[in-house]
Amino acid sequence: MNVFRPFLRLAALMAFGAALVFGPAAVAADHAEPAAAAAPAAPADAHAAPAAAAHGHEAAATAEPTILQRFAYSYLTAFMFCLSIAMAGLIFVILHHLFDAGWSVSVLRIAEHLACLTRPLFLALIPLLLLQGEIWRWLHVNPATDHALDVKKVLFNRITFNVVLAFVFGLWAWMATTFRKYSLAQDKDGSAIWTRKSRVLAAWGIYAFAFSLTLAVIMLMMSLQWQFFSTIYGVYYFAGSFWVTLATIYGLIRWLSTREMKPVIFPRQIHDIGVLFFAFTVFYAYIGFSQYFLIWNAAIPEETFWYVDRERGSWWAVGLTLLFGHFFLPFLVLLRIDTKMSLAVMAPMILWAWVMHYLDMTFNIMPVLYPKGLTITFFDPLCWFGLVALLASFFWRDYLKFPKWPQKHPRLKEAVTHHEVTGAGYAVEDT
Amino acid sequence: MSAPVPQPIGLLAQYETAADILHAAVAVRDAGYKKWDVFTPFPIHGMDDAMGLKKSKVGYFTFCGGLTGFSFGMWMIWFMNKADYPLVVGGKPLFTPLFAFPVSYELTILLSAFGTIGGMFLLNGLPRLYNPLFNVKRFKKASDDKFFVFIEMADPKFSTEKTRELLQHAGASSVEVVED
């Protein structure tokens, strides 16, 4: 099925090309008001304007965004969406090794490939770093005039920002590559040493993962409004990421089990991924609610402004859509054990999860650029399709290139034999 | 008062291995029996499907318990803080689902658990102090190393000869009539 690859690459190129060509025109058409015409030149100064008070964000937010900023923010949103999938793939691999799991051996190679998407994402980070001046406004603020920035300048300064991002992406790419390298080496000789090595890497890797992901999310997303702080923010991003990735893995194994992966995917794997997907629906809501509730209860202006910004205009409706669409709907749909096995229920659910996670990223990122309400430009779908097509082409290349599951994993037999799930209403194969 | 005359109530078949009982269960299920049960010393993987058991209905009790807990938590805090004795705390509204949520959430879990346990006892008919099967001496082995199938006479498909034949054909080491 190599036919897919050039096609996806082409789609990625076309999306980016189209974004550059059509994006500005579409945006100009969207904002044909006379006032907007003069705006593009202004904002660069607008965020440089001294923000004497700690809450200078209100001054900066009123300027009309430039074309480049619109593109940059859409790109960041798509980037964070894609990063979710790669990072959750990585944590799936780490957890598999830490728990010495049996059932997930069948799915392990898929997760390894997803984790290795951190490598193309490292490349995709470059445009973000080139556009950093358009996205992170604190880069133009003098810490001497802004108390909130002054106390965080150890972390929020141009050098640390770039070094940290380059370092964490390098670390993730290295970890993902190493896990897959061990796994592929085991395919050849079947030696348990690779399992042992993976476990050692996973043992310290889970700490590295937690700290580096939190750091990256603080840098990439939370610092968009640098006055804001939430200690749970990294976990919030992780919870949503793992959720959407479980949906993705579910879709992938349902599809691939009709093809090459048929010998290793059983109802048990499908059921367990479905159960994890359900669990993370709740976990995401738990974390999201905790963040909101603590900020609401404490009512400290340094924190509440973040949510106040997200209650303006149509952002209020977006927030409620997330509450009901990201939590209540999937929660009620996935509550029954049999819906997790039904493709008729799960296929729309996967698409829905993608839309909801993208909306979640939009809700976190875009109010900074569009304080009046949800604004969708041409750049959004184009950046999204561009990046997703790029990652899909890498995934597909890896999928075709390597064995479809860990061939000689010590627990492979366990994964493919103990696969009955009782009471779920489907037939059990004899063991 | 004269002692009640023992009446036959069904057939009890003994099997020696877990594989035997699994196949016997499939045979009984395929023969179309409804009022029967399997007794084993330990849980056997795949038995639910072998017996043709449907999804347990305990989940509905759990759901109703959870829903009750959640609604009760919300109502309780609304009633106490807003309706019965309005009290401003920290400048917050008298009632909002926000601060009522943690308590309602805990009550959801608590009453879900109650619903699950209550529903389980309701559906499985426990605790039950007497069962005619206790009269059968060999049945004690059900908690040791033997496996049993019991088919009730009340089953519409029951016939002493044909049912016995079915059980023996499925590999029973002994079949006997249970009286009550």
Query: For residue A60, what is the enclosing H or E element?
Result: helix A57-61
Those residues whose C-beta lies under 8 Å from the C-beta of residue B137, and which sit 6 or more positions away, are none
**How many other CB atoms are there within 10 angstroms of residue A419's CB atom?**
22
Interface mutation target, options A422, A426, A428, chain B, most CBs of B under 10 Å? A422
pLDDT tens-digit profile of A112-166? 999 999 999 999 999 999 999 999 999 999 999 999 899 998 999 999 999 999 9
- 3-class secondary structure, A390: helix
CA distance A367 to chain B (A): 23
| B99 vs A contacts (CB less than 8 Å) | 293, 297
Query: Which distant-in-sequence residues (6+ apart) come within 8 Å of A18 by Cβ?
Result: A378, A382
Rounded to the nearest 10 degrees, the angle between the axes of helix A267-298 and helix A301-309 is 120
Residue-level pLDDT at A247:
96
CA distances from B53 to A430, B10, B34, B46, B67 (A): 17, 20, 10, 10, 27
- Residue A57 inside a domain? The answer is no
Instruction: Please list, in sequence order, all residues whose beta carbon lies within 8 angstroms of the beta carbon of residue B41, skipping any fewer than 6 positions away.
Output: B142, B143, B144, B145, B146, B147
Least confident of A21-35, A261-275, B109-123: A21-35
Give the integer Cα–Cα distance in Å for A225 and A305.
10
Distance CA A272, CA A213 (A): 25
Q: What is the pLDDT of residues B45-80, one digit of tens each?
A: 888 888 888 888 899 999 999 999 999 999 999 999
**Lowest-confidence segment of A354-358, A360-364, B90-94 by average pLDDT:** B90-94
CB atoms within 10 A of CB B50: 22
Domain span including residue A164: 67-416
pLDDT tens digits along A259-269: 888 888 888 88
pLDDT score at A411: 86
For A302-311, letters b (16+ CB in 10 Å) and e give: ebebbbebbe
A189 in Cβ contact with A210 (< 8 Å): no
Element (H, E) at B8: strand B8-15
pLDDT at A295 over 60: yes
Give residue B9's pLDDT: 86
Instruction: Report whether pLDDT(A16) > 60.
Output: no
Given a contact cutoff of 8 angstroms between Cβ atoms, the answer to whether A198 and A124 are in contact is: no
Percent with pLDDT over 70 in chain A: 82
Residue A345 clears pLDDT 90, i.e. is over it:
yes
Which chain A residues are closer than 8 Å to B53 by Cβ? 423
> What pairs with residue A55 in β-bridges?
none
pLDDT tens for residues B101-112? 999 999 999 999
In the predicted model, what is the mean pLDDT of residues B148-168? 84
A419/chain B closest Cα distance in angstroms? 10
Chosen for mutation from B45, B61, B63, B64 (greatest number of chain A CBs closer than 10 Å) is: B45
pLDDT of A34 > 60? The answer is: no
pLDDT of A57 > 60? The answer is no
Helix and strand numbers (H, E) in chain A are: 19, 0
- Please tell me the distance in Å from B115's CA to the nearest CA on chain A: 16
**Average pLDDT in the A404-426 region?**
70
- Note whether B102 contacts A299, CB cutoff 8 Å: no
Report yes or no: A254 and A271 within 8 Å, Cβ to Cβ: no
Phi–psi pair at B126, nearest 5 degrees: -95, 160
Q: Name residue A397's amino acid.
A: R
Question: Is the pLDDT at B39 greater than 80, yes or no?
Answer: yes
**What pLDDT sits at residue B46?**
82
How confident is the model at residue A42, as a pLDDT? Answer: 40
pLDDT on residue A12:
60
Q: Is the pLDDT of residue A32 over 80?
A: no
Q: At residue A235, does pLDDT exceed 90? A: yes
Closest chain B C-alpha to A422 CA, distance in angstroms: 6
Q: Which residues of A touch B (CB under 8 A)?
A: 289, 292-293, 296-297, 299, 335-338, 418, 420, 422-425, 427-428, 430-431
Tell me whether residues B49 and A297 touch, CB distance under 8 A: no
**pLDDT at res. A43:** 41
Is A422 close to B101, i.e. CB distance below 8 A? no
The mean of the pLDDT values for chain A is 85
Tell me phi and psi for residue A53, to 5 degrees. Answer: -80, 165
pLDDT for A394: 95
Dihedral pair phi/psi, residue B39, rounded to 5°: -125, 125
CB A210 within 8 A of CB A90: no
Average pLDDT over residues A14-40: 47
Cα-atom radius of gyration of chain B, to the nearest Å?
A: 25
List the one residue out of A346, A341, A345, A334 whose CA is nearest residue A424.
A341
B90: chain A residues, CB-CB within 8 Å = 297, 299
Give pLDDT tens digits for B120-137: 999 988 888 888 888 888
Say how many CA atoms lie within 13 Å of A37 toward its Cβ.
Answer: 3
Is the predicted pLDDT of residue A44 greater than 50, yes or no? no
Closest chain B residue to A292, measured at CA: B98
Quote the DSSP letter at residue B15. Answer: E
Q: Is the pLDDT score of A294 beyond 80?
A: yes
Residue B54 has a pLDDT of 82
Q: Which residues in chain A are contacts of B46 at CB distance < 8 A?
A: 420, 422, 428, 430-431
Q: Which helix H or strand E contains A321, and what residues bound it?
A: helix A315-321
| Terminal-to-terminal C-alpha distance of chain A | 33
Say whether pLDDT at A39 is over 80.
no
Please count the structural domains in chain A.
1
Determine the pLDDT at residue A210.
95
Nearest CA in chain B to A289: B98
Would you say residue A48 has pLDDT above 80?
no
Nearest to A422 among B49, B63, B90 (CB): B49
Give the confidence band of A18 by pLDDT, cuts at 50, 70, 90: low
Q: Residue A430's pLDDT is what?
A: 39
Distances in Å between the Cα of A389 and the Cα atoms of A209, A385, B62 are 26, 6, 43
Q: How many angstroms separate the CA atoms of A91 and B102, rounded?
A: 29
**Inter-chain residue contact B48 with A425, CB threshold 8 Å:** no
Between these two residues, A91 and A38, which has the higher pLDDT value? A91
Is the CB of residue A319 less than 8 Å from the CB of residue A363?
Answer: yes
From start to end of A165-263, where are the E strands? Answer: none
Q: Is beta strand B147-152 parallel, antiparallel or unpaired with respect to B36-39?
A: antiparallel
Residue A17 has pLDDT above 80, yes or no: no
Residue A420: list chain B partners with CB under 8 A.
45-46, 49
B50: chain A residues, CB-CB within 8 Å:
428
In a domain, A423, yes or no: no
Amino acid symbol at B57? K
* A45 assigned to some structural domain: no
Residue A116 burial by Cβ neighbours in a 10 Å radius (0-12, 13-18, 19+): buried
Look at chain A and count its residues: 431
The answer to whether B55 contacts A335, with C-beta atoms less than 8 Å apart, is: no
Instruction: Output the pLDDT for position A429.
Output: 41
ipTM: 0.75
Cα–Cα distance for residue pair A110/A375, rounded to 1 Å: 35
- Return the residue of A nearest to B44 by Cα: A422
- Binned at pLDDT 50, 70 and 90, residue A425 comes out as very low
**Contact in structure between A226 and A329 (CB atoms under 8 Å):** no
In a domain, A249, yes or no: yes
- Quick check: B48 contacting A, CB < 8 Å? yes
Nearest to A423 among B48, B63, B98 (CB): B48
Judged by a CB distance cut-off of 8 A, whether residue B59 touches chain A is yes
Interface probe for A, chosen from B55, B57, B63, B105 (most Cβ of A below 10 Å), is B55
In 3D, which of A336, A357, A328 has the Cα closest to residue A247?
A357
- For residue A336, the distance in angstroms to the closest alpha carbon of chain B comes to 8
Facing residue for A293 by CB, picked from B47, B55, B98: B98
Which pLDDT score, from 0 to 100, does residue A108 have? 94
- What is the separation of C-alpha A329 from the centre of its chain, rounded to a whole number of angstroms? 21
pLDDT tier at B1, thresholds 50, 70, 90: low
Give the model's pLDDT for residue B132: 84
Burial class (CB in 10 A: 0-12, 13-18, 19+), B63: middle
Residues B170, B14 contacting (CB under 8 angstroms): no
Listed residue (B130, B77, B81) closest to B104, CA to CA: B77
Q: Mark yes or no for CB contact B59/A423 under 8 Å.
A: no
- The beta-carbon neighbor of A428 closest among B49, B56, B101 is B49
State yes or no: pLDDT of A77 exceeds 80: yes
